[in-house]
Structure 1
């Protein structure tokens, strides 16, 4: 009976460890084109993602890229930058769309797609898992 308990206990510890590691999300990197010389603070990023600003600090147009609803990356990004959860953001954008005062950021599904779009267009800003950053983009903030 001791060996069954020991095996069960080991399995339980392993499952808890695996669950804990899947909940932990790596850092989020907010990225722009390498030639973009803007300086962005958290407040500037929030304004871009709330549609309150359409330009970088250097006056260059800004096109924000978002991630799909329900992804851990998006949930953490929204909490860290705009202080809203997904349902609050959906409601926020619904009001702006209905009144004709805004269009939400384009949704892009993968880190690779975000990097590709950002690396090809100096006007874009997006966010990816910090582990996916390479020299095709420039990190302006991490959360």
Structure 2
């Protein structure tokens, strides 16, 4: 490859890396996961939203829902926007208000996908979200319609 061709290709690569967000290039889709004992394998987007806003507190077999969140910025931003209809800061403020008024407690939040997966795998009724390119481990994927 001639030097000028290499420089042209290099410039195009720099432009593409500058224009395209790294999170768009690296992040997978968001999937909802649950403990294998959770009786529900399908949820609507409205049900997912209701779970993460503390409105849906029981599974179809009347067992307790236990939701946790992942604090990785890209995953949290995408999940909150696509499923909850809030930004991460709006979601946190919502839960702070719930705590302040005695209507709820802050959801447990994990910085690490492995720790979140371990929690969901070991906790009856647990539900969370991860990037589709993360290894799902010993949990089940919940289909969201």
Same fold (TM over 0.5): yes
Matched positions, count = 140
Counterpart of 2:23 in structure 1 is 23
For structure 1, the 5+ residue unaligned runs are none
For structure 2, the 5+ residue unaligned runs are none
* CA distance in structure 1 between the aligned counterparts of 2:144 and 2:45, rounded to whole angstroms: 9
Q: Does 1:14 align with 2:13?
A: yes
* CA distance in structure 2 between the aligned counterparts of 1:23 and 1:135, rounded to whole angstroms: 23
Counterpart of 1:106 in structure 2 is 108
- C-alpha deviations, 1:73-94, integer Å up to 9, x for none? 0000000111011222122122
Counterpart of 2:130 in structure 1 is 128
* CA distance in structure 1 between the aligned counterparts of 2:100 and 2:33, rounded to whole angstroms: 30
The TM-score with structure 2 as length reference comes to: 0.82
* CA distance in structure 2 between the aligned counterparts of 1:23 and 1:15, rounded to whole angstroms: 16
Q: Which 4+ stretches in 1 moved above 6 angstroms?
A: none
> Displacement of 1:64 after TM fit?
0.7
Counterpart of 1:35 in structure 2 is 37
Whether the aligned pair in 1 keeps the contact of 2:38 and 2:126 (CA below 8 Å) is: no
> Displacement of 1:111 after TM fit?
1.6
SS at match of 1:131: coil
* Change in 2 beyond 3 A, CA 1:91/1:15: same
The TM-score with structure 1 as length reference comes to: 0.83
**RMSD of aligned alpha carbons:** 2.4
